[in-house]
Structure 1
Amino acid sequence: MSDAPAFDILDGPHPDAETVLLSAGLGGTAGYWAPQLDALRTRYRVVTYDQAGTGRARRPLPADHSIAAMADEACAVLDASRTPAAHFVGHALGGLVGLALATRAPERLLSLCVVNGWAKAAAHTRRCFDMRLALLRHEGPSAYVRAQPIFLFPADWLERNADRAAHEEAHGLAGFQGAETLQARIAALLAFDAGPDLARLSLPTLIVASRDDVLVPSAMSEALAASIPGARLELFPWGGHAINVTQPDPFNTLLLECLGST
């Protein structure tokens, strides 16, 4: 399969509309951002993409795959989509990609939004991924995919959306990225450490988190925002790890307001 980026472009309301580049989390596919597309395209040109190893870009990943490599991939998407610079919105792993891109090629970003991300994985987050990997290794992809909603969504949302969760489970298993690919991507996100680079960031930055995220403690987002000069922090009281899916309307309103203010 080709190493060329697998991306989609949604035209904005006019030819001069600024571009928003959306980067998904561990799942890696463009489809994660479906709840945001209609709202964003009213004002912006929108680019989404499948990260290397996932979706239409499925292929073996090198043993040393890293967030830095994913940032280079995001640059390649900008190049291939003829985008000199974009607003970058990343969820979890995708947010780490944005942080890395902001330090490696700041001229390519107009602003940065990190959703339920971190500067360095917390011990609790590492424990969660250890358990998910144990499921994958000992019980297989079906058990891994079935457990995934527990880490993404609040329990009451899952109860109200049981049919949707079942559909997404079937879809996730059908498009499973492969055990070796998943392990490489998890190793990359756990190895990532933004460290002192954060103090050098000078672009408009929004950090969004949910207080009931069971995978990434909201304290990690608070620490991330405190480390970036001028960063804005917005904490949702409810919504889980996939806050943009469970709370699409308030999330979209916040995102558009912040993008417009830059």
Structure 2
Amino acid sequence: MHFEVHGRQDEAARTIVLSSGLGGSGTYWAPQLPALTERFRVVTYDHRGTGRTGGTVPEDGGIAAMADDVMAIVEALGLPRFDFMGHALGGLIGLEIARRHPDLIDCLILINAWGKADPHSGRCFDARIALLENTGIEAFVKAQPLFLYPAVWMSENAERMAADEAHGIAHFQGRDNVLRRIAALRAFDIEADLADLEVETLVVATKDDLLVPYTRSLALVEAMPKAELALFDFGAHAVNIVYPDLFNETVINFLTRPEPRS
């Protein structure tokens, strides 16, 4: 597993592990690093089958195997406890770790995540799979921003969109890896266990998320005993990129406020 440690390096530093979504790259969190590294030791990593980790996603491992990969990093760093922030699929990994290792996570931050995939999200993934299978990598990559960003933001950031598209095509993680990662997030269902997750949790959602209805986040907050909601009107699926300053402030306030939280 390729991972990087940013910010504070002292052993007493509070550590937060960041896990991205379907793209799997640790570079997804670039807008968060300047703010987070002022206070924390920050760990980013590339998911198995993506980026500098590469390799093959296990055919039957699902989200549990992805959680095992994170725990291998935690063990390598010797972390007794840590905070965890996950975007979409990364949030599912955080929920799985919280279910299996509740004693290790201090705070959990879930961004446009879910306890069980919504049928609408399934429709979106069906369309993306059809593009990949029937049209090819270029069409799949070109469509990706439509599920991530608001239209006006994409219009105002055309150069970035073009650069991201070229990079996505050049570094495509591979058909089988994409399909297995999508299958894993579609199969994940932790709803029956949410009431038992006693981890302090911030659930971040946006009303204009095209891929994941924000009602999935409302369901998480209703079911988890120590969860609270930060709901944005605008920012779409990748709100941490669209509104980094407001997002970072929200996260840091949650992580650093005095106890008790609930």
Q: TM-score, length-normalised on structure 1? A: 0.96
Task: Return the offset for 1:15.
Answer: 4.3
- Aligned pairs for 1:140-155 (under 5 A) are 140-155=136-151
Q: Which residue of 1 aligns with 2:117?
A: 121
Aligned to 1:72, what secondary structure does the other structure show?
Answer: helix
Q: Secondary structure at the match of 1:43?
A: coil
Once the two structures are TM-superposed, the CA of residue 62 in structure 1 deviates from its matched residue by: 2.3
> 2: distance between equivalents of 1:110 and 1:230?
12
Distance 2:7 2:41 in 1: 5
Q: Is the 8 A contact 1:207 1:231 kept in 2?
A: yes
1:204 to 2:203 alignment? no
Greater than 4 Å deviation, 4+ residue runs: none
TM-score (norm 2): 0.96
2:129 to 133, 154, 157: 133
Q: Which amino acid aligns with 1:183?
A: L
Distance 1:188 1:30, change over 3 A: same
Q: Does 1:12 align with 2:8?
A: yes
- 1:190 is matched with which residue? 186
1:60-209 equivalence runs, <5 A: 60-209=56-205
State the alpha-carbon separation in 2 of the partners of residues 60 and 12 from structure 1.
Answer: 32
Q: 1:40: which partner in 2?
A: 36
Q: Which amino acid aligns with 2:55?
A: R
The alpha-carbon deviation at position 11 of structure 1 amounts to 3.1
> Identity percentage over the alignment?
49
Moved more, 8-17 or 222-231: 8-17
1:210–1:218 Cα contact (<8 Å) kept: yes
Partner of 1:59: 55
Distance 1:245 1:11 in 2: 20
Aligned residues: 258
Which consecutive unaligned segments of at least 5 residues does structure 2 have? Answer: none
Contiguous gaps of at least 5 residues in structure 1: none
Give the helix-richer structure, 1 or 2.
Answer: 1
Aligned Cα root-mean-square deviation (Å): 1.0
Aligned counterparts of 2:32 and 2:39: Cα–Cα separation in 1: 12
| CA shift for structure 1 position 77 | 1.1
